[in-house]
Amino acid sequence: MEKALEILKELQNISPSLAEIVKVNVFHVPDHYFEEIPNKVLTTVFLHQDEKITDQKVPEGYFDDLSNKILARIRNSNIESAEDEIRAISPILFSIKDKNVFTVPENYFENLKGKIIDKLSDREAKVISISSGRKWWKYAAAAVVAGGITIGSWQIFNNRSTTENGDKVLTTSAKIPDYIKLSFQYKTPEQLENGIASLSNNEIATYLEKHGNIMDDDILANDIDPNELPDTKDYLMNDNTLNNFLNAIDLHDSNKNIQ
Amino acid sequence: MTQIQNDQELLELFKNPATKEQAFTGIVKKYQEKLYWHIRRMVISHDDTDDVLQNMFIKVWKGLENFREDSQLYTWLYRIATNESLTFLAQQKKRSSLSLSDDENGLSNQLKSDTHFDANKLEWKLQLGIQSLPEKQRLVFNLRYYDEMPYEEMSRVLETSEGALKASYHHAAKKIEEFILNH
């Protein structure tokens, strides 16, 4: 093996005489020891578990309250209890947890929020039904569409040039995309609002899938107080943390973003 | 059969209560010999090795659910085996109230009491030389010399920089060489 040769060369450089010694295993193992280990270990594991239970004295009324205690623990189970558990099982594993054993790519934490929100956007686009009562999403969608149309309108207005006789004309109409052309019909904010209201959920969803990412980030960023965000550790450990957080935050202020 | 399953498969099977035992048996079978020898070279006696090996696998059973898969299973197992061996040696030291150097002599005495021990044979001299090293150097020497573990991996097991491990191995080999030449 290349690895073995490399190691042998290394030892030859350090100590040629040591490298000369033929590797002989001086230790002896009882016959069939390795064949029996798996069963032996499994038996020990289970005996060990039994011992733990039988060794304990059961306080009076212990079993009456056991189910409630377990349920309470399940409800309260969080990262800390998992940490306590691994600390009890193996202190070295616990100490490794926060050290560089689990290496983190450079700038990982700086980019984490964006990554999660991107993932979240993907997931929400697939899972959330717009008509399911999650109003904020609808508002967000409307905001994105309104943004698109408004930008479109702005482009149009800026692309108009004035003819010699003072009439404004469009100079780039041949290149104008359909959704911008749509904005021509909206002359007033009221008309624009009515136009948005007339869009179907599917149209909004399709638009969001194509153009929603940047606007999603902005809307979420405006509505989330960074001080209220769950700890990074929490959502690293538990996929549900961020979902729970998003379900809990108050996004009805998204109205503000809609014009 | 399931003996040569890869770690990922074994970890997945372990998550399922129906295949948990099967996965655990697979892990034991796959790593038992490597881990046995790693422990044996540290604690010397077979019976002590057997105890340490079983204890470490009990911890593996309990801790595997919390095992973070961004770390290699192999590295994790070696780390537990190392930790358990060092804990065992520390307990032994405490029990017999011996100093560090006395403890090393204790391990050397264990070697000498082996029925197959032959002081004239080079391989036994080598073992005595290894036992004369401080624990950490002994670990590094064994992992490199016998297990042929790359420094990168060893640094994850022992939580020590590769540079320090290389230096440690160098010192260990030199000391053993000196020991053999003088005995």
Which pLDDT tens digit goes with each residue over A49-63?
A: 655 444 445 556 655
Residue B92, min C-alpha distance to chain A (Å): 19
Backbone dihedral region for residue A166 (phi beyond 0: left; psi -120 to 50: alpha; all else: beta): left
Burial of A218 from C-beta contacts in 10 A (0-12 / 13-18 / 19+):
middle
Nearest to B38 by CA among B111, B112, B139, B127: B139
Integer Cα distance of A146 and A196 in angstroms: 7
Check CB contact under 8 Å for A3 and B148.
yes
Q: What is the pLDDT along chain B (183 residues), one digit of tens a residue?
A: 444 678 999 999 999 999 998 899 899 989 999 999 999 999 998 899 999 998 899 899 988 988 877 778 999 999 999 999 999 999 988 877 655 554 555 788 888 888 788 888 888 888 999 999 999 999 999 999 998 899 999 999 999 999 999 999 999 999 999 998 888
Q: Which residue of A has its CA nearest to B69?
A: A102
For residue B63, list chain A residues with Cβ-Cβ distance below 8 A.
86, 89-90, 93
Check CB contact under 8 Å for A90 and B36.
no
Nearest CB to A40 within list B54, B68, B181: B54
Nearest to A213 by CA among A132, A134, A148, A155: A148
> Model-level pTM?
0.50
Cα dihedral angle (A41, A43, A47, A49), rounded to 10 degrees?
70
Confidence band of A235 (pLDDT split at 50, 70, 90): low
Integer Cα distance of B59 and A1 in angstroms: 33
DSSP 8-state secondary structure symbol assigned to residue B113: T
Confidence band of A74 (pLDDT split at 50, 70, 90): very low
Nearest CB to A102 within list B21, B71, B123: B71
Check CB contact under 8 Å for B122 and A48.
no
Nearest CB to B156 within list A17, A85, A101: A101
For residue B71, list chain A residues with Cβ-Cβ distance below 8 A.
96, 101-102
Q: Which residue of B has its CA nearest to A42?
A: B25
Model pLDDT for residues B159-174, shown as the tens digit of each residue: 999 999 999 999 999 9
Nearest CB to A102 within list B59, B68, B169: B68
Integer Cα distance of A234 and A80 in angstroms: 10
For residue A30, list chain B residues with Cβ-Cβ distance below 8 A.
46
For residue A237, list chain B residues with Cβ-Cβ distance below 8 A.
none
Whether the Cβ atoms of residue A180 and residue A259 lie closer than 8 Å to each other = no
**The pLDDT value given to residue A130:** 46
Q: How far is CA B95 from CA B2, B92, B99, B133, in A?
A: 42, 5, 11, 21
Tokens 């295949």 -> residue:
B19
For residue A23, list chain B residues with Cβ-Cβ distance below 8 A.
123, 146
How big is the A-B interface in CB pairs under 8 Å? 112
Please report the ipTM that was assigned to this predicted complex.
0.71
Residues 6+ away with beta carbon under 8 Å from A258: A139, A142, A143, A146
